[in-house]
Amino acid sequence: MRFQGKNWKFPDDVDADVIIPARYLMTTDADELAEHVMEDIDPGFSKKVQKGDIIVAGANFGCGSSREHAPIAIKAAGVSCIIAKSYARIFYRNAINIGLPIVECPEAVDDAEEGDEFEIDTDEGWVRNTRTGKSYEVKPFDPFIQDIIAAGGLMEAVAKRVREQGRVAE
Amino acid sequence: MGMTMTEKILARASGRETVEPGEIVEVAVDLVMTNDITAPLSIREFKKTGLERVFDPKKVVLVPDHFVPAKDIKSAEQAKIMREFAHEQGTIYFEVGRAGIEHVVLPENGLTLPGQVIIGADSHSCTYGAFNAFSTGMGSTDIAAAMALGTTWVRVPPSIKYVYKGTLPEDIGGKDLILHTIGLIGVDGALSAAMEFTGPVIDKLSIDDRIEMANMAIEAGAKTGIFPFDELTREWMAQYSDNPYEPVFSDDDATYQEVIEIDVTDLRPVVALPHLPSNTHAAADIHDMTIQQVVIGSCTNGRISDLREVAAILKGQQVHPEIRCIIIPGSQEVAKQATREGLTDIFLDAGAIFSTSTCGPCLGGYMGVLAEGERCVSTTNRNFRGRMGHRNAEIILAGPRVAAASAIAGKVADPRALPVAAI
Ligand code: SF4
């Protein structure tokens, strides 16, 4: 898939608590969660983020809490893709599972200035900074993870499997 | 080629002879856990499969603990979704009044055993590594998939060996050790790896102290934190569980990504200043940092041994007049035991509050949320911005002794200086 948008830049170690504070976790409604996305690291983010925008972040993005509400809020806020130096592992799995596109590309993050526009192709495995014209290779997903993405998310893959096992009628 | 204990558990659970770091394997799970925040999402995702039953209700456990007893209508609705699902499916479930914080309740009920694969929709599910299990946190959807399939996928982590040497000072506990370690390696110092805690100091460390350390492996970015199985583990398990189990042992020629030696002889009680658990200092080096609140409890330090340490310091003392000291037992069992031992009276007489078991303030839920500009010493595990309330509040992480000393002093205090500071 290909994405294009301007970026909002965040530092290292953005934790799941600042992405979506626990005081909003009494719901699983994506749009309600999106209203508070990034509130404790960038108050007002949910107002200024536009559909298709990209998050560029440092290392260990999404660390801490396992709350899946974090990638759900980011996705529902309209963010099309995240480029980070690295992800905390639970966030990484959650993003894949719910279909929020993420890529790992430390060099692109280092060179990025907030507001730069990026083009990202997750199938071909590259990102391009439109301002500087510079292209970067991204680490491809493991084939196992590509299968989850191709299935449309983890539960779609699981649903298919339990049908095949005959545990659920076709 | 030898294997680490983590690799052995994952090999066994995936039905293979050997596994190597980096490989993705599908493993059978022995226990799948979710709580009142993460369960509603898991249940919604589980229903998408069309399945009527979870793979094995005796291996699925739901624990309401974050916002219960319900703090408001919305949290009551979430807890209701999980309660109804638990009853409908016949899963293991711990109701308010017979429950507490998941990572305290599960071990107490003998549900977390050596050699098992345990996953939970809660990042501190790495806690059970204390018992020589492979345990790790995941998101709600991963847990939904495991509830359906009875399996999950795991990328075999590289193992990093931490060897604790020297003489452990008497007043240094698991919390000090793990904070000190995170301070050394950073919050992504063990990213996606298995931390293997070993060495002569660990051999003598109590199970509760091991729990505190495994619990916070996630704060170094680790997938899991695991301890060797030994006589102490055996005794502990005999006390809490009749279920059979099969411990694992690392081979002498196992491969480690890194071996890190840590000498603990000179360690002083540790605190982590805002806003990262890696921002560690000796409590004694922090002068005149006034606070407004102290929280003692959580899945890290809400066990009876923690409350005993706190009571020993608070006994006959008074909480500083400007401090709110909130003590929360990790479970109903802990609360009962604390009452039997007379600890409850010590807390109440000292001017602290002693509540029912809940996560409550640990995640800024309720029962002690911080206002703007307030500062809190807390025995919880995260001091991220906004974690316990307002984004401009500050959290200082510490072990129970430092927390108790600070409650008396009204500022960050070293328990070693107490006879002077307390008066
Ligand atoms: S006590 Fe805190 S860290 Fe532990 S499970 Fe509850 S909210 Fe999470």
Q: Average of pLDDT values for A122-138?
A: 96
Interface mutation target, options A10, A12, A26, A139, chain B, most CBs of B under 10 Å: A26
Q: Which residues of B132-161 are buried (b: 16+ CB within 10 A; e: fewer)?
A: bbbbbbbbbbbbbbbbbbbbbbbbbbbbbb
- Model confidence at A1, pLDDT cuts 50, 70, 90, reads confident
Q: pLDDT tens digits, residue range B143-167?
A: 999 999 999 999 999 999 999 999 9
Q: pLDDT tens digits, residue range B247-286?
A: 999 999 999 999 999 999 999 999 999 999 999 999 999 9
Reported ipTM: 0.95
> CB-CB: which of B49, B363, B369 is closest to A162?
B49
Residues B155, B19: Cα–Cα separation, whole Å: 10
Sequence-ordered alpha helix ranges (H) in chain A = 16-19, 30-34, 45-48, 69-76, 89-98, 106-111, 143-151, 154-164
Which chain B residues touch A88 with a CB distance below 8 Å?
188, 191, 221
> CB-CB: which of B139, B148, B149 is closest to A97?
B139
> CB-CB: which of A26, A64, A159 is closest to B67?
A26
Q: pLDDT tens digits, residue range B336-380?
A: 999 999 999 999 999 999 999 999 999 999 999 999 999 999 999
Amino acid at B131: F
pLDDT of amino acid B418: 76
Which chain B residues touch A169 with a CB distance below 8 Å?
50
To the nearest whole percent, how much of chain B has pLDDT over 70?
A: 99
Look up residue B420 and give its two tokens: 């002077």
> Per-residue pLDDT for B142 more than 70?
yes
Ligand 1 centre from B123 Cα, in Å?
9
Look up residue B356 and give its two tokens: 């029912």
Give A130→chain B minimum CA distance, Å.
31
The answer to whether the CB atoms of B276 and A13 lie below 8 A apart is yes
Compare all CA atoms of chain B with the CA of A144 and give the residue at the minimum distance: B24
Residues B356, B34: Cα–Cα separation, whole Å: 20
Q: pLDDT tens digits, residue range A36-77?
A: 999 999 999 999 999 999 999 999 999 999 999 999 999 999
> Per-residue pLDDT for B420 more than 70?
no
Give the number of other Cβ atoms within 10 Å of residue A43's Cβ. Answer: 11
CB pairs A-B closer than 8 Å: 145
pLDDT of amino acid A123: 87
Alpha carbon nearest to ligand 1 atom 5, residue: B299
- Model confidence at A79, pLDDT cuts 50, 70, 90, reads very high
pLDDT of amino acid B419: 59
The answer to whether the CB atoms of B51 and A163 lie below 8 A apart is no
Tell me how many degrees the CA angle B31-B232-B6 measures, rounded to the nearest 5.
Answer: 45
Rounded CA Rg of chain B: 21
Ligand 1 centre from B184 Cα, in Å?
24
- For residue B69, say if its preceding peptide bond is cis, omega within 30 degrees of 0: yes
Give A38→chain B minimum CA distance, Å.
11
Ligand 1 pocket residues where CB is under 6 Å: B 65-66, 101-103, 122, 124, 298-299, 359, 362-363, 380-381
- Model confidence at B1, pLDDT cuts 50, 70, 90, reads confident
Which chain A residues touch B118 with a CB distance below 8 Å?
none
Compare all CA atoms of chain A with the CA of B42 and give the residue at the minimum distance: A68
Backbone dihedral region for residue B243 (phi beyond 0: left; psi -120 to 50: alpha; all else: beta): beta
> Per-residue pLDDT for A107 more than 50?
yes
Strands of A81-84's sheet, edge to edge?
A: A102-104, A81-84, A54-57, A2-10, A117-121, A126-129, A135-137
B382 CA closest ligand 1 atom index: 3
Q: Which residues contact B267 (CB under 8 A, 6 or more apart)?
A: B168, B169, B172, B176, B177, B180
| Sequential DSSP letters for B5-26 | HHHHHHHHHTT-S---TT-EEE
Q: Average of pLDDT values for B120-131?
A: 98
The answer to whether the CB atoms of A60 and B384 lie below 8 A apart is no
The answer to whether the CB atoms of A66 and B364 lie below 8 A apart is no
pLDDT of amino acid B422: 40
Reported pTM? 0.96
> Per-residue pLDDT for B334 more than 80?
yes
The answer to whether the CB atoms of B24 and A93 lie below 8 A apart is no
Residues B327, B299: Cα–Cα separation, whole Å: 13
The answer to whether the CB atoms of A89 and B48 lie below 8 A apart is no
Alpha carbon nearest to ligand 1 atom 1, residue: B298
Amino acid at B247: P
Residues B22, B154: Cα–Cα separation, whole Å: 9
